[in-house]
């Protein structure tokens, strides 16, 4: 099964200071055909104007990943964490039993462009946690770079879910394959540029949902940066001890 999600079909939210595109149902946007894929519940492509942002608000029982494409994103939370992340940095916040945080454009002159990703955890009520890692462009060029995993292997950020997130940059003759187990699905989101995934031409903002296929193939990239989520079909959630 291959299902295309075109950029222009996503939900749109325009708030002046924020321009957002929702790949899945979120806030005031609801589409019963797009409520998530396995435990992947949110991919919001956000552009925030200089000096503006999301004031302090709460989350619980969610793995939240921020992937900056341009600009600088400032984060503060009730765990005492404060940081500014730019392109190459990936931030993971496990909301667990509950956390308050804020996100702002650190710059007063340039916008910030980033992806906010929410993944449902497979355990509830854990202690909140924060992690940040840097992945340079070279580590993603022409290859899959593991960004997030359940065990934090290979320098990835760790998440409470049997899911992995890989990033790759493809241009020119770059070509990649990724094997999928029979019970797994993949969601490939194009963050920038254009690329062909499993024979389907995609451009920035597009995505491809893949299930029942043995592999993901990627090629014909033009300054493409893609995210590949390897996801379980079923996502049981249990309470933490």
pLDDT digits (tens, 9 = 90+) for 33-92: 999 999 999 999 999 999 999 999 999 999 999 999 999 999 999 999 999 999 999 999
Q: Contact 130/81 with Cβ under 8 angstroms?
A: yes
Q: What percent of the chain has pLDDT over 90?
A: 95
Domains of the chain by start residue, with CATH: 2-239 (2.60.120.10)
Look at residue 98 in the predicted model and tell me its pLDDT: 97
CA–CA dist 98, 223 (Å, integer): 39
Look at residue 183 in the predicted model and tell me its pLDDT: 87
Is the sign of the CA dihedral 10, 13, 16, 19 positive or negative? negative
Look at residue 237 in the predicted model and tell me its pLDDT: 45
Q: Provide long-range contacts, Cβ within 8 A and 24+ apart, for 78-82.
A: 78/128, 79/128, 79/129, 79/130, 81/130
- C-alpha 8 chain-centroid distance: 18
């Amino acid at each position: 099964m291959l299902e295309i999600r075109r950029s222009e079909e996503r939900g749109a939210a325009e708030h002046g200071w924020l321009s957002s595109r929702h790949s899945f149902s979120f806030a005031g946007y609801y589409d019963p055909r797009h409520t998530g894929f396995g435990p992947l519940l949110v991919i919001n492509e956000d552009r925030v104007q200089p000096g503006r942002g999301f004031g302090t608000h709460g989350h619980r029982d969610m793995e939240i990943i921020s992937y900056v494409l341009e600009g600088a994103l400032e984060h503060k939370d009730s765990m005492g964490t404060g940081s500014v992340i730019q392109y190459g940095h990936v931030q993971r916040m496990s909301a667990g039993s509950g956390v308050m945080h804020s996100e702002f454009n650190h710059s007063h002159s340039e916008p910030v462009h980033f992806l906010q990703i929410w993944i449902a955890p497979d355990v509830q009520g854990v202690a909140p946690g924060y992690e940040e890692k840097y992945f340079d462009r070279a580590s993603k060029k022409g290859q899959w770079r593991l960004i997030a995993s359940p065990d934090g292997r290979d320098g990835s950020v760790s998440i409470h879910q049997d899911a992995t997130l890989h990033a790759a940059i493809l241009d020119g003759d770059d070509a990649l394959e990724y094997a999928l187990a029979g019970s797994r699905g993949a969601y490939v989101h194009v963050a920038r540029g254009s690329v062909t995934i499993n024979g389907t031409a995609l451009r920035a903002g597009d995505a491809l949902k893949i299930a029942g296929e043995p592999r993901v193939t990627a090629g014909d990239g033009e300054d493409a940066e893609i995210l590949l989520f390897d996801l379980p079909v079923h996502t049981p959630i249990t309470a933490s001890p």
